[in-house]
Amino acid sequence: MIGGRVPKLDAVDKVTGGMRYVADLDIPGLLVGKLVGSTVAHARIVSIDTSEAEKLPGVRAVITGRDMPESRYGQLISDQPFLPVDKVRYYGEPVVAIAAVDEPTAEQAARLVGVEYDELPTLADADRALAPDAALVHEEASPYDAVPMTRESPIPLRPPEPGTNLLFELTLNAGDVEQAMRRAVRVFEETYTVPMVAHAAMEPHAAAAEVDADGGITVWTGSQSPRRVHATLARYFDVPREQIRVIGLKPGGGFGARIGMILEPYCVALSRAAGAPVRIVLTRIETFQTIGGWLPGRFHFRTGVDAEGRMVAREVDIVWNAGAYAMTSPVACANAALVALGPYPAKHVSVRSRLVYTNLPAARPYRGLAATQGNWAAERHVDSVARALGADPLDFRLRHLLRAGDVMPWGEVNREVHLEECVRAAAAELGWGTSPVPAGRGRGIAAMWKFTLPGFFSEAEVVLHEDARVDVYTGAVDIGTGVQVVLAQVAAEVLAVPVERVAVHMADSEYGLEDSGASASRSAVYAGNATLEAATRVRDQLLDMAERELGIPAAQLALRDGRVAAAGSPPGSGVSVAQLLAGGGDLSAPGAFRGEVRTEQTPGAPTTWQFADWKFGACAVEVGVDRETGVVDVRRVVAAHDIGRVLNRLNVETQTEGSVVMGIGAAIYEQQVFDGAQLVNPTFMDYVMPTALEAPPEVVPVLLETGSGHGPFGSHGFGELPIIPVAAAIGNAVADATGVQVRDLPITAERVLLGLDEQ
């Protein structure tokens, strides 16, 4: 059961088109909601004229920021208005919302809205936004609240610096970097960059809401964090939580783009104003323009190497372009800064990671919360240092690699580190040093590590029925990860029933079960542990009942095929679940899990930072490069990870394939291109991401089952991991094949060819 290849419970629905997404809901009396976006990137709003739109037959409501609550929203920093009244901060920012009887009417009404802007200087570039005389994206930065992502989060969050565009800054100093650099025999200095990359989920963003005559609110959303949407909607509209029901539907892909409130507040406000249910489905262009991609940034490294060729000092200076609002970027800014150090603990370390407000659409978390960006920079830099020293990139890594018990620069010590096994496994599977590299090809490797904040949580409830059917209730949502079948497997394993007997009910606030949402590779671990606890309690109750019934101590009883009997007794003996529960009703129990720190802290450490879960892996790739055109062709990708314990092999393999192809997209094809602050490629024709035809011929998952995870049966969260080292491994392989060091993502054919021409 656990570790098997159990297909996703919704797989058939998804491939046959039977799946119901928000856009498919049939809600009686439903109106079409439409957002009117700003036509400039940065401006004061002088006036908004909605009178013509209101007169159009078929228009049921036209609202502006005056119809919205005055408070601002933020997952970490309360900086975001829904429909601003004073100024707009990015191109396409919604300023008016319309509800109409159909789409053509809503679109026509949108064209009738007149907004007068007084334009301000546009800040698209983070360095320019940091200049002392730069215009301010948020003049009112000081009154913003800063709320940590979790109570236990070690990230020192502060409100933004008033009077500047500096949104957040993380610094770390350990040892004496300057002295170490002076003593180093060689110092390597390099700069790497990453552009904004879109999530490009298949389903465009969508939400619907109905406010009834008594003020009761029902929301349908494809959110990744429907339980958080429930809590924040209540706070934002200042209504009791019991008055709101949020029904979480499975989204058509999330990848971080659906975390937090997005369209739900507009739908609620429109429905209130119109007195009818309202649904907003963004067009693809609106999705690209208003839902920012991952956090783009620039990394500057200095690495000091001693006479023995050891890296002894590392300085990292990062500038991130957050765009118009904070979203979860402060945590990304911190997380990725530590990732960017690379899993090679040097004694002397200096980190400065600055997050800057600009007029780009606000960057959002993206599969790994900026770990891919940090890893790209770190693992390209280390590779480049190794090559410059004439060392084999694998040997060089193995010599410096983090091992169990090493002290991190910030003072944390982890005694469960299986990174070396991952790196060796990836290299071995690719044939590193054992099989010859074919002509025109190159090989590259990259290690990865990532941390998860403590304090996230999940709740579940398990119900065992008389007929040995099981219902699992959870606040979690399955955004395509397959967590739903994993929860079914966990309950089925504990209660010894076939997985088909388990129904998993997800993400409806009516269940009253909390969940932090689908992020940070957490659902299978957190909701899994909660389900495991609940199911175990149910089993224990059942065994207690059987003990009384059979007169055999519970400890000697086992559950099998819907019966409880003495362990090792022949099939059909003992008592059936139906007999035990007859007349007494169902058995049910709750379960909960909160992520806790499992590492140690060293005395006298420079910080008190500790994380709930560390994850490790490595990626090794072989690429071909067309030397006449610069085109990079990824031939083989090996993804080796410490997964702790495989819960569902099919899930893990397909997650790996999807993650790797997504990583290849970021490595070679994808970037959101801005002219000033206006996106110039908001369609799938111009935003080029890999299709099935661009997938590599071979993706090989290597799954190390160390039992080191904090999830069910020793598992680690996995969904985000394989993407993280892909881009760096490809960049390193291109360097191996050609000698060309591409330091900017994506590794376009043009950049490679330019490098070849310069040789």
Partner 1 sequence: MTLAYVEPDTVEEAVALLAEDEGSKVLAGGQSLMVLLRQGLVAPSRLVSLQRIPELGRIQVLPDGSLRVGCMATYREVAGRAGRLLPAVGDACRQVGPIPVQNVGTPGGSLCHNAPGADVPAALLALDAEAVVRSGAGERTIPLAGFFRGYFETVLEPAELLVGIHVPKPAAGATSAYVKFNFRLIDMAIVGVAVAFRWDGGVCRDVRIAVGGVAAVPFRAPAAEEALEGRALTADLVAEAGRLAATEREPVSDVHASAAYRRRVTPVIVKRALERAAGGGASDVPPALMLDVSSAPA
The site for partner 1 (CB under 8 A) is made up of 104, 108, 285, 628-629, 631, 668-669, 673, 680-681, 683, 685-686, 688, 690-691, 693-694, 749-750, 753, 757
In angstroms, the CA 639 to CA 647 distance is 17
Tokens 């025999």, located at residue: 185
CB 295 within 8 A of CB 333: yes
For the CB of residue 52, give the shortest distance to partner 1 in the complex, in Å. 16
For the CB of residue 664, give the shortest distance to partner 1 in the complex, in Å. 11
Per-residue DSSP letters for 700-753? EEEEE--S--SSGGG----TTTTTTTHHHHHHHHHHHHHS----BSS--HHHHH
Q: In what order do the strands lie in the sheet containing 114-119?
A: 87-88, 43-49, 114-119
CB 92 within 8 A of CB 38: yes
Between 56 and 554, name the residue whose CB sits nearer to partner 1.
56
Between 471 and 633, name the residue whose CB sits nearer to partner 1.
633
For the CB of residue 271, give the shortest distance to partner 1 in the complex, in Å. 26
Between 20 and 111, name the residue whose CB sits nearer to partner 1.
111
Chain CA centroid to CA 260, Å: 12
For the CB of residue 693, give the shortest distance to partner 1 in the complex, in Å. 5
For the CB of residue 688, give the shortest distance to partner 1 in the complex, in Å. 6
CB 341 within 8 A of CB 451: no
In angstroms, the CA 367 to CA 647 distance is 20
Between 406 and 694, name the residue whose CB sits nearer to partner 1.
694
Between 164 and 672, name the residue whose CB sits nearer to partner 1.
672
Q: What b-and-e string marks burial along 644-657, b requiring 16 or more CB atoms within 10 Å of the CB?
A: bbbbbebbbbbbbb
Between 86 and 626, name the residue whose CB sits nearer to partner 1.
626
Beta bridge partners of 221: 207, 248
Q: What b-and-e string marks burial along 198-219, b requiring 16 or more CB atoms within 10 Å of the CB?
A: bbbbebbbbbbbbbeeeeebbb
For the CB of residue 753, give the shortest distance to partner 1 in the complex, in Å. 6
Q: Closest by alpha carbon to 461, among 542, 528, 529, 530?
A: 530
Between 109 and 724, name the residue whose CB sits nearer to partner 1.
109
Between 23 and 166, name the residue whose CB sits nearer to partner 1.
23
For the CB of residue 120, give the shortest distance to partner 1 in the complex, in Å. 27
Peptide bond into 746 cis (omega under 30): yes
Tokens 């890296």, located at residue: 311
Q: Which amino acid is at 714?
A: G
Between 690 and 709, name the residue whose CB sits nearer to partner 1.
690
Between 308 and 628, name the residue whose CB sits nearer to partner 1.
628
For the CB of residue 690, give the shortest distance to partner 1 in the complex, in Å. 7
For the CB of residue 635, give the shortest distance to partner 1 in the complex, in Å. 15
Q: Closest by alpha carbon to 266, among 115, 95, 76?
A: 95
Helices and strands (DSSP H and E) totals, the chain: 18, 30
Q: Which two tokens stand for residue 517?
A: 């949402």
For the CB of residue 330, give the shortest distance to partner 1 in the complex, in Å. 30
CA-based end-to-end distance of the chain:
56
Between 439 and 693, name the residue whose CB sits nearer to partner 1.
693
For the CB of residue 686, give the shortest distance to partner 1 in the complex, in Å. 5
Per-residue DSSP letters for 309-334? S-EEEEEEEEEEEEESS-TTHHHHHH
